[in-house]
Structure 1
Amino acid sequence: MADYEAVDDVIETVAAVAPDVRAGLPGRRLTEAGVENPSGETVTAADVHADELFFEALGAIDGVVEFASEEREAAVDVADGTAGEDGLAVAIDPLDGSSNLASNNAMGTIVGVADAPLPAAGTDLVAAAYVLYGPITTMTVAREGTVTTYVIDGGEMTAVEEDVELPDEPVVYGFGGRVPDWPDAFHDYAREVESELKLRYGGAMVGDVNQVLSYGGIFAYPALDSAPNGKLRLQFEGAPIAKIIEAAGGASSDGERSLLSVEPTDLHQRVPVHVGTAEYVERLEAALAD
């Protein structure tokens, strides 16, 4: 049984740290850390800074026993006990879209809170959230079956929209990966979608998903010919975003099933990610099954 007070503490702590993450971006705009993360991607100094801030703050919460980050090889025990029995596990992408620093485009933070040891299945998530560092810093949170969007100002959260749901009339789409690397079935599906919806793709999952949540439609980073499991991580990106989108009345899929139903096998496991308006996700699964 989740410690709901600790869940609140995690969400409030993410909000409190977010302004410090944002404030640290200008001085680290073009600086690489000189290392790669466990997924083989170049790490920026901003990634490292954000990871350290969140690790220090979240690891100190009474009720959190395990912390994992996209920037760390393994989960870290931050207190005695086992997640699910004695406390919560937190998995975080500290700075989603950090490659956008060079062009000064949107970035974000993604967090999943699990009532089970990591790697945890999406069904073990008791809360999920993303912070969007846009013109305004906002945080969208899913817990107890509902979605709420907050404005973050000075580390304080103010709810600006409750019971968030995807609009009935979808408007936008955003698909990742190089077009020549898309499998034929996805390519054919994309050609249909682009005749119906408007393209919105900025290179940071949080920003692109927020477009879909705001206007309806679909975001996808599909399986690629060169990367059959896609690019995004189940633990740090796929499952938390799926929890938010599904709680808002949408759907998620790895191409065959809900991302919340994908069995985790590795902390840094990659998975194809498709999230958005249920009709478009269902059509995608049908197209990939043909």
Structure 2
Amino acid sequence: VILRRVQTDVIAFRSFVDGHLSKVPNKGKIYSINEGNAKNWDEPTKKYVERCKFPEDGSSPKSLRYIGSMVADVHRTLLYGGIFMYPADKKSPNGKLRTLYEVFPMSFIMEQAGGQAFTGTERALDIIPTKIHQRSPIFLGSFDDVEEVKSLYAFNEANQAT
């Protein structure tokens, strides 16, 4: 009975997403992050934000839009594309947002709309929580924007291994 209810809810949710959002753009012109924490970011996050501000291909920079409310920032990302980031940093090495009731719901919505959700090490929805209030870093948004972040983390990991 519970499984049937979950299946029905997922189908209804997909219908809602398809009817109201259709699909998040593959690439956006907006990035959303609290730049007040920049001094504590890891190298991949610093590099990505640098690329947003000063694109290597000479194209126009992305616009920073950060409200400070995850729901509002992710909603804008769903509508216009781009990326929402709340990375791990020196002060919060496990991230700040709660996995079960912040990271998971927004990651599910973003993926249903065609985007991605990444923690810096794995797909956000692949986390197996061990605590009710467990925290996680998150990068979620347009498929191509998150893919670029993933490539920076992979490059950083490969360089640290050598």
TM over 0.5: yes
| Residue equivalent to 1:245 | 110
CA shift at 1:273, angstroms?
Answer: 0.7
Q: Report if the CA contact (8 A) 2:124-2:138 is conserved.
A: yes
| Residue equivalent to 2:58 | none
CA distance in 1, matches of 2:68, 2:15: 24
Looking at secondary structure, tell me which structure has more strand per residue. Answer: 1
CA shift at 1:256, angstroms?
Answer: 2.0
Q: Report if the CA contact (8 A) 2:26-2:115 is conserved.
A: no
CA distance in 2, matches of 1:223, 1:194: 20
Q: Report if the CA contact (8 A) 1:173-1:197 is conserved.
A: yes
AA partner of residue 45 (structure 2): F
| Residue equivalent to 2:79 | 214
Q: How many residues align?
A: 146
Of structures 1 and 2, the larger Rg is shown by 1
CA shift at 1:197, angstroms?
Answer: 1.5
- Superposed counterparts of 1:81-230, under 5 Å: 143-144=10-11, 146=14, 148=16, 161-162=19-20, 164-176=22-34, 178-195=37-54, 196-230=61-95
Call closer, same or farther: CA 1:163–1:190 in 2, change over 3 Å: closer
Q: Report if the CA contact (8 A) 2:28-2:145 is conserved.
A: no
CA distance in 2, matches of 1:192, 1:272: 20
Q: Report if the CA contact (8 A) 2:26-2:143 is conserved.
A: no
Deviations 1:170-211 (A, max 9, x none): 121101361111112211111102343211100000010011
Call closer, same or farther: CA 1:260–1:191 in 2, change over 3 Å: same
**DSSP 3-state at the match of 1:263:** coil
The alignment's TM-score, normalised by the length of structure 1, stands at 0.46
**DSSP 3-state at the match of 2:97:** coil
Q: How much is the aligned-residue C-alpha RMSD, in angstroms?
A: 2.3
Deviations 1:43-71 (A, max 9, x none): xxxxxxxxxxxxxxxxxxxxxxxxxxxxx
CA distance in 2, matches of 1:274, 1:267: 21
Looking at secondary structure, tell me which structure has more helix per residue. Answer: 2
Call closer, same or farther: CA 1:147–1:266 in 2, change over 3 Å: farther
* Greater RCO, CA 8 A, separation 6+: 2
CA shift at 1:245, angstroms?
Answer: 0.1
| Residue equivalent to 1:280 | 145
The alignment's TM-score, normalised by the length of structure 2, stands at 0.80
Q: Report if the CA contact (8 A) 1:172-1:211 is conserved.
A: no
CA shift at 1:2, angstroms?
Answer: 2.6
AA partner of residue 2 (structure 1): L
